[in-house]
Amino acid sequence: MRRELSKNEVERLFVGAVDHALAEKEASEFDAELAANPELKAKFATYQRAISLLKEAPREKAPDALASMILRRTRRRRFQLRTREIQNAHFPAEVVVPMLIAALVAMFMLLASP
């Protein structure tokens, strides 16, 4: 008995079908669904044409400074997030009070020892 795939499942298989990367079972199910549904078959043909046009398009070389620009922007955003986290940090009494008590006990023990 053949399992029917939903429209979304078939559309997700477009990438693998174009690259011929589907398993045998998936490929046969995919082909059966395309044969049964002309709308999906037309969509797949359009997808195949788009991918082939993209593959034929000339490749552009990335700017030399692109990597350093991306790293700089990433570091800046990470720093901004860190400072925002520090500014928005609220220390609840459950954390601060035990730390203060521990510090006082440590000071008392240091001062009381001979």
Query: pLDDT, tens digit, for every residue of 4-18?
Result: 777 788 888 888 888
Radius of gyration of the chain (CA): 30
User: Distance between CA atoms of 37 and 29, rounded to whole angstroms?
Assistant: 12
Query: Which tens digits make up the pLDDT trace of 75-97?
Result: 888 888 777 776 666 667 777 88
CA distance 112 to 108: 6
pTM, 2 dp: 0.50
Measured distance CA(36)–CA(30) in Å, rounded: 10
2: Cα separation from own chain's centroid: 34
**What pLDDT does residue 64 have?**
84
Of the chain, the percentage scoring pLDDT greater than 90 comes to 19
Pairwise pLDDT comparison (2 vs 30), residue with the higher score: 30
Cα gap 39→58, rounded to integer Å: 31
Kindly give the interhelix angle for 24-36 and 38-56, rounded to the nearest 10 degrees: 120
Count the helix, strand and coil residues of the chain and give each as a percent rounded to the nearest 5: 75, 0, 25
Helix (H) or strand (E) holding 26, with range, is helix 24-36
